[in-house]
Structure 1
Amino acid sequence: MKKLNQETTSGRVCKTTALLSALTSALLLTACGGGGGSDNAATAVSYTPGAVFKVGTTTFDPDLPAEPQLPTDAQVCATLEASNNLVRRPDGSLPPEADPSKTGVGVAVDPAVANPDQARIQSALDACGAAVDKEVGAAIAAADAAAVAQQTAAAVPNKNIAGISGEELAKPQYRGSKFAVRLVVNSQGPGNGFISGPLTLPSGVTLWIDKGATLYATRDVKAYAPNVAGPYCGNTAVSSTKAGSSSNCLALINGNNLINSAVVGDGSIDSRAYAEIVTTDKLYPIMKVDMSCSNTYANYAKGTQAADGTACDNGGTTVNSKTTARNMTWWDLAYLGNMVQNGTTGTGSQSNFRMMVFNYAKNLTLYRITLNNSANFHVVPSGIDGFTVWGVKVQTPSLAAFANPAGNGNPLYTGDTYTKDNVKNTDAFDPGAASSPTIVALTTGKSTTSAAKHAFDGYLKNFVFAYNYVSTGDDDVAIKGSSNPSPAGSNLAAVDGSRDVRSDRKSGAVIAHNHIYWGHGISIGSETNAGVKNVEVYDNSFQHSEEGLRIKSDYARGGEVSNINYKNICIKDADNALLFTTYYSTKGLPATGPKVPNFHDIRLENVRILGDSAIKLQGFQANTGGFNLPAFPLVMSMNNVVADTPSAMRMTMSDAQLTIKGVNLPIQPSTDNRVTVNGVATWAVDGDLVLDCSKAFVDFPAIGQSNIFGSGWDK
């Protein structure tokens, strides 16, 4: 028999007795009530010795589909070797002489130096896409046409036409015998880098970046904004009155209307958002760190140079041809647009390119690849049936971001070096629904499509995010419910983990077995207006993250979020371990009026918090913002949710209906704040009997280069 004596929040002593029975092999923890100066009924929580879950040790999960595989040599369409002119430094960056900048205003860099590999990589992708389409395109088209005909005849209410399922398309008869374009280190020398502008990933094609190879994004802004008439990229404004937008820029890797495509390999992709922006067109407006600009978009569109003193229309002050200041970096623009020009009421916003953008796909896979230093979001997939992210590493900023010939840490234009707080809007993964269902031709190359059209229902479904390592300056994972592909008048959620669940998995929306470092943790929102439900989040660790578990929205883009299950979670030294709020931002309301957030049936089980942290649990108060709106309290159950130091938890609660058991957080009912609590919180809970976090926290893996978290395993 083991006795634990711990003090409750009211100063009374609670005796907790754990009784181990040889007959039942069960451990019973009984915690006395506390708070408010009155005695409350004891709460019993049952445990089984030896069965306490050990976070971070699971290597096989029968509830998930099989781990993806790298292609074989026989499945490669083309192999491209890195040029010996591009050799990565030990910190992961390219040396300045690899693609040097030119000083001054009204100067252009050489396209052959600034973007040497885009054409040959795209050519190989296009050839592979054409070969795959020739081999299996007819089979895919026939299967999809038959499925569309059947679904149309059935006319199922409130269900979009989906065509052939991703599960069926995963079968061998729908995959090309050769489908991969492989980037490798130079076989005769030290070359291990590629520099490319935007690439189009064809349907059925895998981009395979081999171990030791790195695909670097070109610094040439023109590559991401090829049209003279716009939209314009690389700014914080696109006119004197209109803010910029990252949708103005092509992504580094673009993929629309895909079947069985992937980006894989043990190599890496570095968007180099820390590096100075350059241009291959001397008239293209570039913003300088002294806030001047080199030209205006109005003059650029006419093919002329604006005179000195002309007001900039890209977010800068005035044109200055004589400045000696360096060009902005992408992260300079992000910080300027988000933190300075925008703030809480302004109109600034960065036009930065994203690393990967995918719209409409069936069976899209990211496997084992390392992603670094995106200028904006890393991966934005919308309307995907079968989106798998497995064994991927995202680290932003990486050590490469601090490389500088002057040895002073490659600072922002403000003089500050990069931290987790100033590389803004670098979300790692933002999966969500598409804006609508569609029937469209597949992308078979940069400028070619399939002969037949194929159906996509627009939902995000059969999403697996597993065994990844993520550290970034914004959301690590953020499921978006902003777009609504549901039929008009239906109440279906845009993202629903129970929709069309495949036979090789237990749930259609899973985030499991991941290590999270810097960033805003695992989030839902802030766009939830079309709904998110039935998501499973388990066996994840958070270390030094800004947030751990988070659901965020507001009445400008709120909606229903329900049946979200969190289990076996270790959180260490997070700013906000748990953050569930319906008051995320002060964005202006849409023309249709408020969209009320409604978070309910949120379940937390076996969650352990180490170190001091904050917890915010906020539902939606009635009549918020002066509108005659109903209340939507946060409805949440918490079973075995404990902090190793309960007194270090800073609680904010309002408009919540909580059911608790085995919880030692300082949770109390409040009439003033409209908080009801079913159950009693007590300090007398032993965290070691709830969850084993001894193996949960590990160094970020060092795969082929140094990292700012120390070294871990290598393979």
Structure 2
Amino acid sequence: MNLFRGKFYYIFSVSACIFFLAATTVSAQKQVLPVIQQVKFKKDTTSIVTFGAKGDGITLNTTIINNAIAKVSEKGGGVVLIPSGLWLTGPIELKSNVNLHLKRDAILQFTDDFNQYKLVEGNWEGQPAWRNQSPISGVNLVNIAITGSGIIDGNGGAWRMVKKDKLTETQWQKLVASGGFVSEDGKTWYPSQKTVKGSKIKNAGVIVPGKTAADYDDIKDFLRPNLVVLTSCKKILLEGVTFQNSPAWNLHPLMCEDLTLRNLQVKNPWFAQNGDGVDVESCKNVLIEGSTFDVGDDGICIKSGRDESGRKRGMPTENVIIRNNVVYHAHGGFVIGSEMSGGAKNIWVYDCSFIGTDIGLRFKTTRGRGGVVENIYINNINMIDIPGEAILFDMYYAAQDPVPLAGEKREAIKTITVPVTEATPQFKNFYIKNVVANGAAKAIFFRGLPEMNIKDIYLENVTIQAKKGIEIIEASGIFLKNINVITDDTNPILHVQNGTNININGLQYKNGSELLFNITGEKTKGVKISGTDVTKAKKTSAFGTEVSKTVLEIFK
């Protein structure tokens, strides 16, 4: 395991003006990785059957399961066992010192009776909001776990709206025939009229002073819960279990500390709206390892609150280790943002594979968020069949699917400069090493803000087969070493627009490429190339009329 905390630098020979790029690395043994405190429970085991639960798929076991958890906690803790069976239930509230353990052939399924879920003050996409009570929740708990090898099913199909474009015609007709409502434009199916009404309200459910839960009853069905929400808890273990079919996000630890997710299966239909795998929000000391994600939105995602409310909370997600995970379908394999207003820092991601994720490494934000994302270390990432970008930094996130649907048209970004304020987000100090991607629409994409560039990003030993190459827009301090891009579109291999201090050493590309470098933008300066055979391209460089050719320096 070779992690790195690298620092790239270049040195000019005074006599020969030779430029080169290097990287210093340190081994994992020399790094100070965070220590995650682990849970510990009494060995006493209590089956929910002893409290009268029935695993017949018909009996609603909500009160029985909650009573069992409460009684075990009151006695000092232990294991609450979900044995073999199909256990129908409403919302479950965890308690301190309890390990909820599911046998291999146990299915804990949550009811589709929305009346069982009361409206509670919670959090949605980084803001305080009214939501239906989560199927599994816990607040201010210590030493809690969900373990075993059974299945927890959120019955999410009863809650979610579905876009027609994401289904086959047969699937769409079957869904419409099941009931519910179709939007006026015929493009979206909704499970209830309350869901339809909620979809038309901007920031539906956001808490407004003076309003109570009763004021949101007419849109209640739209306020979908996350499957598991743990808030302000310490020492948490989720291990071995399959979490699937969530109404919204699957797993949402919020303001928690010492969190371990190990050997999980996290699943959702690929069309599941907001069907994220795990969203770690404003948490400290986190380990996610050995898990598999196949979901409808982002796979493994780091968040820390949205806009002013996130900045006011002021709790970054920090000290995180993410290793040995596989992400299949998702909007992004490993993701930071876009709700990162409290910041994110000191995160290590290594030995992970992304297979068919829309984007591989996805870092997204937008004006208004604020927050600083820094000190991110990524190593040994493998990717296959990425429909979008293999590596993406984008400060113009617009709450859209990362890959447009067939026939979908999107307006081009209009670049303007605005004053820097506390609401201006920042991405800086990312160290990405040893990445291989076989198949992507675009290899690497940077798009910062003119008033706040993406800064100090270091990539080393990256090989990507893609349709298009590298694009760097409004970025400063980009260091690329030993980058091999094998592209279908070779005009150009690398595009720089308003980039400064762009340093490239050892760029490899397809022989006979049309254009190697396209340089535009009046602010562009300091594009330095070394260790690169520029003669393999039919044309080395092209420049916009607004930029001087002297901004590009090529060293042998």
TM-score band w.r.t. shorter chain: 0.5 to 0.7
Q: Secondary structure at the match of 1:248?
A: strand
- Measure, in 2, the Cα distance between the counterparts of 1:119 and 1:248: 21
Among 119, 123, 133, the residue aligned to 2:63: 119
TM-score normalized with structure 2 length? 0.66
Q: Distance in 2 between matches of 1:485 and 1:360?
A: 20
Q: How big is the shift at 1:275?
A: 4.1
Is 1:621 the counterpart of 2:446? The answer is no
Counterpart of 1:683 in 2: which secondary structure? Answer: coil
Conserved 8 A contact 2:493-2:509: no
State which of 374, 394, 412 in structure 2 corresponds to 1:562: 374
Partner of 2:45: 76
1:172-571 correspondence to structure 2 within 5 Å: 176=77, 179-185=78-84, 192-225=85-118, 247-275=130-158, 289-290=180-181, 329=191, 341=200, 350-397=222-269, 420=270, 422-433=271-282, 460-482=283-305, 494-497=316-319, 509-519=320-330, 520-571=332-383
Give how far 1:62 is off: 12
Counterpart of 1:656, as a letter, is A
Equivalent pair of 1:496/1:532 in contact (CA under 8 Å): yes
Q: Partner residue of 2:468?
A: 649
Instruction: Give the partner amino acid of 1:251.
Output: S
Q: Residues 593 and 485 of structure 1: is their aligned pair in 2 closer, same or farther, counting only changes over 3 Å?
A: closer
SS in 2 for 1:123: helix
| SS class of match (2:68) | helix
Q: Structure 2 stretches of 5 or more lacking a match? A: 1-17, 161-177, 207-218, 401-419, 486-491, 511-556
Equivalent position SS for 1:427 = coil
Structure 2 vs 1, CA of residues 207 and 246 (structure 1 numbering), >3 Å: closer, same or farther? Answer: farther
Specify the code of the residue in structure 2 equivalent to 1:248.
Answer: R
Task: Quote how far apart the aligned CAs of 1:593 are.
Answer: 7.2
Partner secondary structure for residue 256 of structure 2:
strand
RMSD: 4.3
1:680 counterpart residue number: 505
Q: Secondary structure at the match of 2:380?
A: strand
Shift of residue 63 of structure 1?
Answer: 6.5
Deviation at 1:224, TM superposition (A): 0.9
2:279 is paired with a residue of what secondary structure?
coil
Task: State which structure, 1 or 2, has the greater radius of gyration over its C-alpha atoms.
Answer: 1
Cα distance change of structure 1 residues 391 and 276 upon mapping to structure 2, 3 Å threshold: closer
**1:681 Cα offset (Å):** 4.8
Q: Which amino acid aligns with 1:513?
A: N
- Name the aligned partner's letter for residue 127 of structure 1: K
For 1:484 and 1:571, how far apart are their aligned partners in 2? 32
Task: Measure, in 1, the Cα distance between the counterparts of 2:140 and 2:37.
Answer: 24
The amino acid across from 2:143 in the alignment is N
Alignment-mate amino acid for residue 252 of structure 1: P
2-side partners of 1:577 and 1:343: how far apart?
32
1:83 is aligned with what amino acid? K
Asked if structure 2 preserves the Cα contact closer than 8 Å seen for 1:246 and 1:354, the reply is no
Q: Deviations over 1:453-478 (max 9, x none)?
A: xxxxxxx2110001100110011111
Q: Distance in 2 between matches of 1:594 and 1:70?
A: 42
Counterparts of 1:352 and 1:431 in 2: how far apart (Å)? 18
How do residues 45-84 of structure 1 correspond to structure 2 at under 5 angstroms? 74-80=43-49, 83=54
Q: Is the contact between residue 262 and residue 364 of structure 1 (CA under 8 Å) also seen in structure 2?
A: yes
User: Structure 1: which amino acid aligns with 2:367?
Assistant: Y
- Residues 235-289 of structure 1 show CA distances to partners (whole Å, capped at 9, x for unaligned) of xxxxxxxxx9974200001100100011111001011212489xxxxxxxxx952
Q: Give the drift of 1:484.
A: 10
Aligned residues of 1:68 and 1:390 also touching (Cα < 8 A): no
Would the alpha carbon gap of residues 269 and 639 (structure 1) be closer, same or farther in structure 2, given more than 3 Å must change? same
Deviation at 1:651, TM superposition (A): 3.7
Is the 8 Å Cα contact of residues 555 and 594 (structure 1) preserved in structure 2?
A: no
Read off the aligned partner of 1:599 and give its amino acid letter.
F
SS in 1 for 2:69: helix
Structure 1 residues 488, 316: CA separation in 2 closer, same or farther (over 3 Å shift)? closer
Shift of 1:680: 3.3
**TM superposition shift of 1:494:** 1.7
* Partner-residue secondary structure (3-state), 1:574: strand
Retained in 2: the 8 A contact 1:597–1:620?
no
Look up the SS of the partner of 1:470 in the other structure: strand
Distance apart, 1:566 and its partner CA: 0.7
How high is the TM-score relative to the length of structure 1? 0.52
Deviations 1:285-335 (A, max 9, x none): xx95235xxxxxxxxxxxxxxxxxxxxxxx999xxxxxxxxx9549x998x
Q: Deviations over 1:503-537 (max 9, x none)?
A: xxxxxx11111011011211111112221111101
Per the alignment, do residues 486 and 259 of structure 1 end up closer, same or farther by CA in structure 2, a change over 3 Å counting? farther
> CA deviation digits over 1:475-511, x for unaligned, max 9?
1111112279999999x762232xxxxxxxxxxx111
Q: Which amino acid aligns with 1:496?
A: E
**Distance in 2 (alpha carbons) for counterparts of 1:514 and 1:473:** 17
Alpha-carbon distance in 1 for matches of 2:32, 2:345 = 22
- Find the counterpart in structure 2 of residue 690 from structure 1: none
- Mapped to 2, the partners of 1:598 and 1:488 lie a distance apart of 13
Aligned mates of 2:458, 2:32 — CA distance in 1: 26
* Other-structure match for 2:424: 596
Query: What is the rounded CA distance, in whole Å, between the counterparts of 1:70 and 1:496 in structure 2?
Result: 23
Determine helix, strand or coil for the equivalent of 1:662: strand
Q: Which residue of 2 aligns with 1:606?
A: 434
Distance in 2 of aligned mates of 1:66 and 1:518 = 29
1:678 maps to a residue whose letter is: N
Residues matched between the structures, number: 423
Q: Does the residue aligned with 1:663 lie in a helix, a strand or coil?
A: strand
Whether the 8 Å CA contact 1:481–1:530 is kept in 2: the answer is yes
| C-alpha displacement of 1:649 | 3.4
Tell whether the 8 Å contact from 1:225 to 1:249 is kept in structure 2 after alignment: yes
Worse-matched range after superposition: 478-487 or 611-620: 478-487
1: CA distance between counterparts of 2:240 and 2:365?
Answer: 32
Deviation at 1:618, TM superposition (A): 3.1
Seen in structure 2, the aligned counterparts of structure 1 residues 379 and 276 have a Cα distance that, compared at 3 Å, is closer
1:594 deviates by 6.8
Aligned counterparts of 1:428 and 1:333: Cα–Cα separation in 2:
26
Structure 2: how far apart are the matches of 1:67 and 1:361? 12
CA 386–209 in structure 1, closer or farther in 2 if over 3 Å, else same: same
Match of 1:664 among 484, 490, 494: 484
| TM-superposition CA deviations, 1:331-357 (whole Å, max 9, x none) | x998x689x858999x99931122111
Partner of 1:632: 453
| 1:38-59 residue CA offsets vs partner (Å, 9 max, x unmatched) | xx97878999xxx9x9xxxxxx
- The answer for unaligned runs of 5 or more in structure 1 is 1-39, 54-60, 87-97, 99-112, 133-175, 186-191, 233-243, 278-286, 292-314, 318-326, 398-419, 434-459, 498-508, 623-629, 686-715
Q: Return the structure number with greater relative CO, CA threshold 8 A, min gap 6.
A: 1
Could you tell me how far 1:684 is from its partner in structure 2?
Answer: 6.2
Counterpart amino acid of residue 436 in structure 2: R
3-state SS of 1:128 partner: helix
